[in-house]
Amino acid sequence: MNIKENISHLLKQIPDNVKLVAVSKTKSIEEILEAHKAGQRIFGENKVQEMKGKYEILPKDIEWHMIGHVQSNKVKYMAPFVSLIHGVDSLKLLKEINKQAKKNNRVLDCLFQIHIAKESTKFGMSKEECIENLTSAQSMENVCIRGLMGMATFTNDQKQIEYEFNDLKKLYDNLAKKYTSFELLSMGMSGDYKIAILKGSNMIRIGNKIFGSRDN
């Protein structure tokens, strides 16, 4: 199947309330344009400079999501245009996003990345850090915390993945009672998005099932 058919096939599989983020990292301008022509408008990148380069060339109705780990010194390059930052994993990073958003007269939407996987290589806050940082975020005028993001362990153990997604959904539900800005739970990628949706995800990040295998 081509990119257009892949998107159409995916959209038939997912509920209407679930937003599809096309993971376009390492993908060419032509491939992204093909997805855009098929109606896809949300694209996710994991490198700020690559995203900035694509933003400058591609149609301006695209919503750019930063889905990778973000270094504080790179925030200034995406602050003028990024739509959603998925990987906010520290108070230091949040403060820098707030600072750069203010310089651009914007309020930047963010998700707190929670560490739910067994792997220590994955980034993210603990639940305790999340609660503390949410309190701190209330005094920041140029960021809005829209919800949470998490990445499950890379494993064939379906029960482990279900447990991790369940855990994140519970935390999300508890926090959403207190924070009215909460509306997004970003969990699920090409290998586990079906489980993620069953467990309450309303935003999935899909690369391979749209564009084919990665180029790197």
Q: pLDDT band for position 61 (50/70/90)?
A: very high
pLDDT at residue 7 is higher than 80: yes
Mean pLDDT over 69-79 rounds to: 97
Q: Could you please report the per-residue DSSP string of 42-98? A: EEEES-HHHHHHHHHHS-TTPEEEE-S---GGGHHHHTTT-SEEEEE--HHHHHHHH
Whole-angstrom Cα distance, residue 2 to residue 8?
A: 10
Task: Answer yes or no: is 216 within a domain.
Answer: no
**What domain range is 157 assigned to?**
3-211
pLDDT at residue 104 is higher than 60: yes
Q: Which of 174, 22, 156, 91 is nearest to 185 (CA)?
A: 174
Contact between 17 and 202 under an 8 Å Cβ cutoff? The reply is yes
Structural domain count, the chain: 1
Task: Answer yes or no: is 160 within a domain.
Answer: yes
Task: Answer yes or no: is 175 within a domain.
Answer: yes
Mean pLDDT over 35-39 rounds to: 97
Contact between 169 and 185 under an 8 Å Cβ cutoff? The reply is yes
Mean pLDDT over 14-40 rounds to: 97
What is the reported pTM?
0.95
Output the pLDDT for position 118.
85
Whole-angstrom Cα distance, residue 131 to residue 174?
A: 11
Whole-number average pLDDT of the chain: 95
Q: What is the CATH number of the domain that holds 136?
A: 3.20.20.10
In eight-state DSSP terms, residue 142 is T
In eight-state DSSP terms, residue 143 is E
Q: pLDDT band for position 214 (50/70/90)?
A: low
Whole-angstrom Cα distance, residue 94 to residue 143?
A: 8
Q: Which residue has the tokens 């983020």?
A: 21
Task: Answer yes or no: is 76 within a domain.
Answer: yes
Output the pLDDT for position 122.
72
3-state helix, strand, coil in the chain (%, to 5): 45, 20, 40
**Side chain identity at residue 25, one-letter code:** K
Q: For the chain, where are the E strands, in sequence order?
A: 19-23, 42-45, 63-66, 84-88, 108-114, 143-150, 184-187, 203-206
Whole-angstrom Cα distance, residue 47 to residue 74?
A: 9
Q: pLDDT band for position 215 (50/70/90)?
A: very low
Mean pLDDT over 183-192 rounds to: 96
Mean pLDDT over 1-29 rounds to: 95
Mean pLDDT over 185-196 rounds to: 96
